[in-house]
Amino acid sequence: MPIYIVAEECKGCKLCLPACPYGAIEMVDGVAVLTDDCTQCGACVSSCKFGAIKLERVEMCDVDTSQYRGVWVVAEVNDGRLADVTLELLGEGRQLADQLGEQLSLVLVGHEVEPLAEVAAAYGADKVYLAQAPELERYRTGPFTDVITGIINRYKPEIVLIGATGMGRDLASRIAARISAGLTADCTGLEISVEDRLLYQTRPAFGGNIMATIVCRHARPQMATVRSHVFLKPEPDHNRTAEVVEVPVSLDEKSIMTRIVEVIKENVDAAANLQDSDIIVSGGRGLKKADNFELIRDLADAIGGAVGASRATVDAGWIPAYHQVGQTGKTVHPKLYIACGISGAVQHLAGMGSSDCIVAINSDPSAPIFEVAHFGIVGDLFEVVPALTRAIREEFGG
């Protein structure tokens, strides 16, 4: 058993009791004792000031992989809705689960989020593990890690997928460390090998210059984070239903180390706009200076699109980071992507290469962007972009 309490070292202070989200510690004859409800989540370990609660790390190669079954997606809930990346992962998870002949489950943690179980079912989930408490209303690393680690330890999934968002990146690494599993971050492709039940997780490596495919042979679950827009959102089927497994949790606000004082939403509209837009006009270093982004904004405005940017322009401070497209920016999948003065570095292509139609405007005919562009205009963007904007406004009055 990886977690145990050394009775001789326990001082009977009871500090560990509120730290356990599953109410699985009791006092017996003045000594803390773990009950059968213990999920081994590890939340109690740091609460003991006397080191009486011990956590024994399991060697990865000791894990009996045959005990782990099913594909799970961890939900991200924003403003009472499942995030798009969660729905996309349910679509991909459905395919992986079907290939393995297993169930697809959603782990839904929050406050008053039960109605979202129906949404999860429509998007492919067979089962929803539901943990609710007022303390879980907004994401906080500590309690979410404790609760989800507990659910994983109890029900043992084979694969766990999490969105590579701010929340997902923070959470996935914590959980993986807590359960001694591997984690492949920012995957751009997932494939299953049915024979050995291994998940082949592909992601850019060495600054995006190679694509690495990673397998996790010994530890379970196999964990991956995936950015939004890497997979397509499936069509919902509102006739589907899912079994809801309620996981009772009891949290004590006093034993949670972080408080959310204020939530400041900064330009979410512009950021969301970029990922939801069917048309994106992006500017690169070819613009020469910040003021010239006005050309990009004009064209985007005329054509009804959003403004994107290369990292070079973000690094130069010409435009805020939430406009950045690429490996370390947003992954986008618009119907039309117009790249103006962007060379087409592999890290930029990683974020927009799957656009339906790519138009490149670049003065250098050998720029790599032309290798992925469906239409290329070799020319000076300071002439081409305003001419395009004029032509569109004349034709469509945008």
Ligand X SMILES: Cc1cc2nc3c(=O)[nH]c(=O)nc-3n(C[C@H](O)[C@H](O)[C@H](O)COP(=O)(O)OP(=O)(O)OC[C@H]3O[C@@H](n4cnc5c(N)ncnc54)[C@H](O)[C@@H]3O)c2cc1C
Residues making contact with ligand X (CB under 6 A): 207-208, 284-286, 310-313, 324-329, 341-343, 345, 347-348, 351, 361-364, 367, 380-382
| Beta carbon of residue 159, minimum distance to ligand X (angstroms, whole number) | 27
Interatomic CA distance for residues 277 and 273, integer angstroms: 6
Residue 186, sorted as left (phi over 0), alpha (psi -120 to 50) or beta, turns out to be left
| Beta carbon of residue 287, minimum distance to ligand X (angstroms, whole number) | 8
Which is closer to ligand X, CB of 315 or CB of 394? 315
Which is closer to ligand X, CB of 182 or CB of 329? 329
Which is closer to ligand X, CB of 157 or CB of 341? 341
| Beta carbon of residue 313, minimum distance to ligand X (angstroms, whole number) | 6
Instruction: Kindly provide the residue ranges of all beta strands, DSSP E only, lying in 48-182, ordered along the sequence.
Output: 53-55, 71-74, 77-78, 81-82, 104-110, 127-132, 159-163
**85-95 burial code (b ≥16 CB/10 A, e <16):** bbbbbbbbbbb
By beta-carbon distance, which residue lies closest to ligand X?
Answer: 326
Q: Which amino acid is present at 264?
A: I
Residue 376 pairs with which residues in a beta bridge?
A: 360
| Beta carbon of residue 64, minimum distance to ligand X (angstroms, whole number) | 38
| Beta carbon of residue 277, minimum distance to ligand X (angstroms, whole number) | 17
| Beta carbon of residue 324, minimum distance to ligand X (angstroms, whole number) | 6
Which is closer to ligand X, CB of 131 or CB of 373? 373
What is the number of other CB atoms lying within 10 angstroms of the CB of residue 307? 20
Residue 321, sorted as left (phi over 0), alpha (psi -120 to 50) or beta, turns out to be alpha
- Whether cis (ω within 30° of 0) applies to the bond prior to 221 is yes
Which is closer to ligand X, CB of 131 or CB of 332? 332
Name the maximum alpha-carbon separation found in the chain: 85
Which is closer to ligand X, CB of 77 or CB of 307? 307
